Structure 1
Amino acid sequence: MIKALNLVVLSTLCALTTWAQTITWKKQEFELKNVTASVMKVNGEEVLKVERDLKVLPFDEKKLAATVDEPTYVKLKNVVLENGTIEVKMLSRIQDPSPFEAARGFIGLAFWISEKDTAYESIYLRPKNGRAEDQFMRNHTVQYYSYPHYKFDRLRRESAGLYETYVDIGLNEWITFRIEIEGEKARLYINDQKHPSFIVNKMKGSMTRGAIALWVDIGTIGYFKDLKVRAK
């Protein structure tokens, strides 16, 4: 449980304010896009903490589809990926109080990000759904979307069930999250499983290469560690 984790802000690194543009973690530089970020220690390990910045990008529950699934991430600078693998460990908790009552701990990756952040692909998790007693909620634990034209709501309307699935995950636990990208196909592997938990056979966006980022959304405190990027 996250409450048991010993969170200590590094003395040499403080939480970035909303005007800051970049942060350095593990000798890698990241650009902040509609988020705040800080480097912290969790049980002696240096991790990156990311939260959506509502001052920069407000959220409107009455306009849910228009104000979620947005570019809310820290983007790795000077790395462009076409085909290859992105792997990271992530842990999600819900803010208390949360600005969104239905927050699910939204956390994941964005990739093939355009230079101006106007288009990208993403796969993310809703960890709170993974242990829900309601099967309908469980079926929405993993989500793919393509920004800006194919957010979760449009994909549900037009391709119900095809771009979401269930995996056994929960809040407040480290999850190994690996995406393998090959052409228009993306495969998601959870917790080092031999076979993919989720497959997107044909991604919906126009990009075929671009930057990668660590992504969170409304009501989420996201922690990331052990980021690995391997081009193919």
Structure 2
Amino acid sequence: MKPLIIIESPSNLGLKESAQGKEPGVSKLPQHLKKHGLYDKLNPAQIIHLAAPPYSSQFDEASGVLNAYKIAEYAKVQAQELKRVLSTDSFPVVIGGDCSILIGNALALKELGNYGLMYLDGHTDFVLPSMSQTGGAAGMDLAIVTGHGHPKLTNIHQLEPYFEEENVWCIGNRYWDPEYVGLIQSSQIEYVPLSHLREMGIDTLLSLFFMHIEAKNGMVSGFISM
């Protein structure tokens, strides 16, 4: 067994304020999970804490995304640390934070090679800034890591896209608005909504995903985000 290392990335930058002047609470997730015993069960060899930039709700006009500059800079920090952990032949578990932390993980993996992504979420997060009601990157992260959106986030270090659409599976969406779902259905992403997930079961889908990865003849490695 590889040593397991937890990387805490407690960023709120991808979310709008939960109320006027009130910061979202997802930055508390690592300490909450630790309090309720997850860390004891995982028994990590090391816990790494990556302090996120201070929260703000600054709208970036160029990208149409809240806190775009801070998210990009934090992604670079995350990528550097994840690459270092992977170089030690350890098994990293990254705990957020909002979904925008996927950008830093994706950047690290693209710098190391070619990876596929299984994205398990109650939403697709495959939305363009023009469709977003909040401007939050946490609702656009799957689009961003597959190269859709402004280069500030999609093309860090000129590595766009971090994941090729044909190597991405999006599983578990429970928001069935036709316009919302239509965008991902028109992509090359393998889309499995919540209803199909319940029918097939997660074990079957995991097996199919890794069969897809293996069919690439070692050219693609797997990565799972939840």
Q: What TM-score, normalized to structure 1?
A: 0.32
User: Which structure features the higher share of helix residues?
Assistant: 2
User: Which structure features the higher share of strand residues?
Assistant: 1
